[in-house]
Amino acid sequence: MSASPFAVDGVFWRKVAELGARHLPEWAVRRAPAVVGAAAAVLLPDARTTVRQNIRLIRGDDGRSSLDDAAAVVQTFAAYAGCLAEVLATGSKNAGTPDVVLVGRRNLDRAVELKKGIIVATIHTGGWELVGPLLAGYRNCELVMVMEGERDERAREIQDRARRASGLSVVHVGEDPLSSLPLLRHLREENTVALQVDRVLPGMRSIDVRLLSGPFKMPVGPLRLAQVSGAPLVPIFSARTGYRRYVVQAHAPIVIERRAQDADLERAGQKIADAISDFLREHPTQWFRFKE
């Protein structure tokens, strides 16, 4: 069932966000996400509970109070609102080039040197709509992002339009990307495919890994794609550190042999999970995982 137009993720509020990001004064676009984040944390109890669980999973039992957790929850919602505003402002008077710090550039160079394309394993964190095109420009290639679709297609199209304007091509899970987009050919032309690995949709095959201090299920599709294509799989994560400021962390490339067994895929998945754990511990309020 599609979402109501007036649902939180419906087309009405997405249009409001787009209008605000494009037409409000720049100072308002800079400061509004903190207010929006606080309001969302109050008005969305299910998402608030999930984010609090994420924060506690990341931090572990470090003795912080419930007030510290609440502040981190608000910061997470505010960071998401800031990222959304910045991408929806694309092409308007409030648009601007983000300031991106790339950590692990040599890891990305090593993957490029293999000349087999790159599969990026990433998660729901800040800035892919803005950072992705910059990575494509760095490599002088086309980058396609495979993402989960939204309930409201009209709301999704608003954000996809901004993504396309920024130079990012998007394919949504559920649109049968392996048939609608020739991903293997895309990789053989030494381009890049990015896939999010921190959520498993119904009916999607997965493997079991340990993320942070607990068990976690990771989709096996990106690992199988790396196995079939021969393209290195590079964990790359981004975090919003301020207004139009981002840091991108590229980890060592993972190569999966064509004859790899299930145990080999599990080891590769665990390497990705370990990289995710390290990143989230450094940026605990950047995991935009609002539902299980």
More confident position, 19 or 270: 270
CA gap 227, 229 in Å, rounded: 6
SS3 260: coil
Sign of dihedral through CA atoms 127, 98, 280, 285? negative
Q: What is the pLDDT of residue 151?
A: 64
| Domain parsing of the chain, residue ranges | 11-88, 99-282
pLDDT score recorded for residue 73: 93
- Give the Cβ contact number of residue 137 at 10 Å: 11
- The burial of 274, by beta-carbon neighbours within 10 Å (0-12 exposed, 13-18 middle, 19 or more buried), is given as middle
SS3 206: strand
Task: Supply angle C-alpha 149, 151, 156, rounded to 5.
Answer: 60
Q: Considering all CA atoms of the chain, what is the largest pairwise distance in Å, rounded to the nearest integer?
A: 56
Query: Is the pLDDT reported for residue 273 higher than 80?
Result: yes
Q: What is the pLDDT of residues 88-122, one digit of tens each?
A: 888 889 888 888 888 999 998 999 899 898 999 99
pLDDT, tens digit (0-9, with 9 covering 90-100), for 51-73? 999 999 998 877 678 888 899 99
- Residue 187 or 283, more confident: 283
Separation between Cα atoms, residue 124 and residue 215, nearest integer Å: 18
pLDDT in tens, 192-231: 888 889 988 777 889 999 999 889 999 998 999 999 999 9
Q: In this predicted structure, what is the pLDDT of residue 25?
A: 93
Closest CA to 71 of 119, 109, 34, 108: 34
Backbone angle region of 133, left / alpha / beta, with phi > 0 → left and psi within -120 to 50 → alpha = alpha
